[in-house]
Amino acid sequence: MGVKGARAEHSSDHAIAGAVSGFMTRLICQPIDVIKIRFQFYSYNKIIESSRSFATLDHWQNSAHFVAGAIAGSIATVVSFPFDTVRTRLVAQAHHQPVYKGFISIYISILKTESPRGFYRGLSPTLLQIAPHTGLQFVFYSLLTDFYKSFSDGSSTTVPNSMIAGSAAGLFAKTAVYPLDLARKRLQIQGFEHGRIGFGKFFSCRGLMECLSKTAKNEGLRGLFKGLLPSQLKAAATTALHFTFYEQALVLLHRLRV
């Protein structure tokens, strides 16, 4: 049953499959940090397994998948957030006048000038979006794969099914939480004005609500969805790859043990 964890895989299978999924997806299009992927898929399945001890949850499968996905996504986000901040700073700096020379340079600079809290700028909107985002990904994926199986004789998830369901799940989930993603990125570059020279007026804000209201006021409601299309394309591609590699890794591990 794939991501639902209904098979009798070894407990290590989910960690291995998550690692394979993260590695292969990053190799193809460099999406999210491998650490986040590994924690997210492994945590999700462990939470789903634990929830089966509550009989009443059998009648709330979609809710269970949403909650498990939300918790798993939040855990993975907190663990990997400093890496995300570092990556955002590297991408956001002016190429003609770079402030940072590499990852080590960024870590040292943030620790010296901003304290460890600098690594977690934008964490609140990220957690607010990651719970529904990851939860919706797993719910949409579960619903779509079940829908596909209802019209076929297969009991396992196929590659085309994983690709289509994963792509749609990533697209829908990203669209639903995009304004929070925009706020996260804008908060992560606060205190980084010197690295944005030449990019025009610097967008400054002190928190999530100010960031959202200021964006809507100055740029209109459409401003909350700036850059949505490329984000949708990336989310569709990476989510499809995550689920597909993950599912196929589980299938391979299962066959090797038969």
Judged against a pLDDT cut of 90, whether residue 196 lies above it is answered with: no
Average pLDDT over residues 198-210: 78
Average pLDDT over residues 58-77: 74
Counting the structural domains of the chain, the total is 1
Number of Cβ within 10 Å of residue 58's Cβ equals 10
Judged against a pLDDT cut of 90, whether residue 37 lies above it is answered with: no
**pLDDT value of residue 6:** 44
Judged against a pLDDT cut of 70, whether residue 226 lies above it is answered with: yes
- Alpha carbons 239 and 245: distance in angstroms, whole number: 10
Judged against a pLDDT cut of 90, whether residue 171 lies above it is answered with: yes
Q: What is the CATH number for 199?
A: 1.50.40
**pLDDT value of residue 236:** 92
Judged against a pLDDT cut of 90, whether residue 167 lies above it is answered with: yes
Average pLDDT over residues 205-214: 87
Average pLDDT over residues 154-173: 85
Host domain of residue 75:
2-257
The number of angstroms, rounded, from the C-alpha of 157 to the middle of its chain's C-alpha atoms is 22
**pLDDT value of residue 82:** 84
Average pLDDT over residues 196-225: 83
Confidence label for 175 from pLDDT (cuts 50, 70 and 90) = very high
Judged against a pLDDT cut of 90, whether residue 19 lies above it is answered with: no
Judged against a pLDDT cut of 50, whether residue 29 lies above it is answered with: no
- Across the chain, what does the average pLDDT equal? 76
Average pLDDT over residues 204-227: 89
Average pLDDT over residues 127-138: 82
Three-class SS state of 51: helix
**pLDDT value of residue 27:** 53
Q: Which of 186, 182, 219 is CA-nearest to residue 204?
A: 186
Contact (CB, 8 A) for 106 and 90 = yes
DSSP structure class, residue 258: -
Judged against a pLDDT cut of 50, whether residue 31 lies above it is answered with: no
Average pLDDT over residues 244-253: 84
Judged against a pLDDT cut of 90, whether residue 58 lies above it is answered with: no
Judged against a pLDDT cut of 60, whether residue 8 lies above it is answered with: no
- Give 104 or 7, the one with higher predicted confidence: 104
Q: Six-digit token pair at 73?
A: 């996504």
Rounded to 10 deg, the angle between the 228-257 and 34-51 helix axes is 60
